Amino acid sequence: MAIVIINVKKKKESEMSILLRILTNYLQLLVTAMSFNASYPSSLTEIFSPIGRLGSSSDTFLSFDCFIANYQITGPFPSNSIFKLFLTGVLPVLLLMIVSLLFALIYVVRPSLFPSLKRSVVIASISIMFLLHPKLASSSVSIFECVKIDTDMFRVRIDTNIECYSTEHLTWCVLLGVPILAIWIVGAPVAAFVLLYRHIHKGDDSLVKQYFMILYQGLKPACFYWEFVNTLRKVVILMVLAVLVTYTPFYRLIISIVVLVASSRLQIYLKPYKNEAHNEIELLAIISGSVTLFC
């Protein structure tokens, strides 16, 4: 919530917002690392247990278990798990509606807090999407994950009543999995990148630049796209975690470490931040994540 409020209130680059963005990326990486089910040393597990609880809090925030726990979903959805995936797909729309309503009420009661209603809603929406993107990515690929139940039988992980690659499974992949991936995981970042690319060299009075400041502030103009690289890195690691779920954690960890090492080398080469201290902080965060996975 802090990163949302800071970006809404600030109209110029904010040191706090830049550091919060780097910290958020780091925490998301650690939460992903704790999801690999690897046998980490007990000392390391104890150190990062608060991070694990943070990830659980995020899951709880995006979970609809309490909402549908006492109901057996019928109709077009074969199970509660598939219905939960549907709700996850429409969650961004619901949140954007709630944010718009909230800021509209604040604007009516205390207009001095947020002089520009449209600006506040857009920036808050972009900030929320930035925070939710990794969780949406992990949820969207869950429909494609298969687990081995019997010797030669694979079932969908979120609903073991559905046989993998059956007509029913492929149908739900097309109806839910592909649209969520296309719209929220790929479409939203690509649309943001295109808009920012077209306006990044315009003056500071450009509305698009003001709206997307959370994504490029602190970066060199030539490296305005760096946050999209970070997003791609997070999505690739989540894909590895999901697609290779039937393999031992060792293989998933090795591939993820390779991704992080490549990301760190690119960070060293580009030095995307204008402030060298920010480059060093982010590099240390990536290295720390790599070491955590390696341990």
Please tell me the predicted confidence (pLDDT) of residue 292: 75
Alpha-carbon span 1 to 88, nearest angstrom: 20
User: Which residue type sits at 20?
Assistant: L
Give pLDDT, residue 56: 45
| Residues of the chain falling short of pLDDT 70 | 1-11, 33-75, 113-115, 151, 203-206, 245-246, 294-295
CA–CA gap between residue 114 and residue 97 (Å, rounded): 18
Task: Tell me how far apart the alpha carbons of residues 283 and 82 are, in angstroms, rounded to a whole number.
Answer: 39
Tokens of 254: 């090795």
| Domain ranges for the chain | 2-217
Which pLDDT does position 268 carry in this prediction?
A: 95
Residue of 225, 158, 148, 157 whose CA lies nearest to 189: 225
pLDDT value for 72: 62
Note whether 278 and 22 are within 8 A (CB): yes
Residue 273: helix, strand or coil by DSSP?
strand
Kind and range of the H or E run holding 88: helix 80-109
Which 3 state secondary structure label does DSSP give 272? coil
Closest CA to 45 of 54, 34, 55: 34
Four-residue CA torsion sign, 81, 62, 19, 209: positive
Could you tell me how many helices (H) and strands (E) the chain has, helices first? 15, 3
Instruction: Report how far residue 161's alpha carbon sits from residue 151's, in angstroms, rounded to the nearest whole number.
Output: 16
* C-alpha neighbours within 13 Å on the C-beta side of residue 260: 28
* Amino acid making up residue 189: P
Q: Residue 47's pLDDT is what? A: 55
Question: For 134-192, how does the pLDDT look when each residue is reduced to its tens digit (9 = 90+)?
Answer: 878 878 888 888 887 876 788 888 888 888 888 999 999 999 989 998 998 889 899 98
CA distance 124 to 235: 22
